[in-house]
Amino acid sequence: MKIANKIKQMVFTLFLLVWLTGCDKNIVDFGYDGAISGKLKDQAGNIVSGDITSTGLIVKALGEGDNVTMDMRVQGDGSFQNTKLYPKKFKIWISGPVTMTADTLRVDFSSDKNIQYDFVVVPFLTVKLPVISGSPAATQVTVSYEITGNNGKVPNLREVYCSTVPFPNTSTGSGPYFQTNKAVVNADSGNATVTGLTSKTKYFLRVGARATGTTAFNYSEQIVFTTP
C-alpha cells in the first residue's frame, strides 16, 4: 500500500512539472512595458542628488484613471527610472525639497514606450561639491563646503558624511564590514573635519543639509578618496 501511494505521488509530481513547463508558453503579457528614465538637475546643469534609501526626493507618476502614484526614488547620482509603466497617459512630477521650474510633465506611453527626460528643479538648498583641504590623513579628512538657500529657504541642520558605503546620509551607520563617520557643522560655509577614519581605506564623502520646516535633506554630489 505504501509503495502504491509513493508511485501515485511520483506520477502526480511528474505531471505537475510537465504542466507547469507547458504553461510558460501561455503566460500573458499584461503590457507593463512603458519606461521613463532621466536625472534631476538644477538650472546650472548640476546634478541634484537624491537618496535611494528614503522617500525624501521622489518622482511621482500618476496614470490616467489611477488613484495611486507610481513613485521612483531619486538615487545619489540624481537618476531615476521605472520600466514597468502601463501604456497610457501619465502625469509626472517631483516631490521633495525642490521646486519644479516647469509644469507637470504629461506623457503617453501608448505612443512612446521609452521616454528619457531630465527634470530641471531648484533645490531648497544648493549644497556644493565639497573639496578636500590639503591631503587626507590616515584617520581624518578636512573639507571645505558651501550651502546656499534658495527662494528664502534657510538651513537648520548641516552634516558631513564620510563612509565606506557610497552616497551616505544622516542614517547611514556602521557595521561589521562598513564604517560611517559624521560631522555636524553650524555655518553655511567653511571647513569641516571628519575624524575616526581608518588608514588605507576607500571613503565616500558628501554634505547634507535640511531647510527649516522640512524633513528631507538636500545633498551634494559625493567625492571619493583613500586614506594613506
Among 89, 91, 60, residue whose Cα is nearest residue 74: 60
Instruction: Tell me, yes or no, whether 213 and 157 share the same domain.
Output: yes
Over 80: is that where the pLDDT of 14 sits? no
Query: Among residues 94, 123, 152, which one ends one of the domains?
Result: 123
Instruction: Tell me, yes or no, whether 165 and 76 share the same domain.
Output: no
Instruction: Kindly report the CATH number assigned to the domain that includes residue 68.
Output: 2.60.40.1120
What DSSP state is assigned to residue 200?
T
Instruction: Tell me, yes or no, whether 102 and 153 share the same domain.
Output: no
Burial 108-134 (b: 16+ CB within 10 A, else e): ebeeeeebeeebbbebbbbbebbeeee
Q: What is the radius of gyration, based on Cα positions, of the chain?
A: 24
Query: Among residues 87, 102, 123, which one ends one of the domains?
Result: 123
Query: Among residues 102, 123, 144, which one ends one of the domains?
Result: 123
Q: For residue 28, what pLDDT is reported?
A: 45
Instruction: Tell me, yes or no, whether 137 and 103 share the same domain.
Output: no
Question: pLDDT (tens digit, 9 = 90+) per residue, 18-70?
Answer: 444 554 444 444 567 789 999 999 999 999 999 999 999 999 999 999 999 99
- Cα separation, 50 vs 34, in Å, equals 23
Determine if the pTM surpasses 0.75.
yes
Count the neighbouring beta carbons within 10 Å of the beta carbon of residue 228.
11
Residue 15 corresponds to which amino acid?
F
Q: For residue 112, what pLDDT is reported?
A: 85
Domain with 113 in it: 34-123
Question: pLDDT (tens digit, 9 = 90+) per residue, 151-196?
Answer: 999 999 999 999 999 999 999 989 999 999 999 999 999 999 999 9
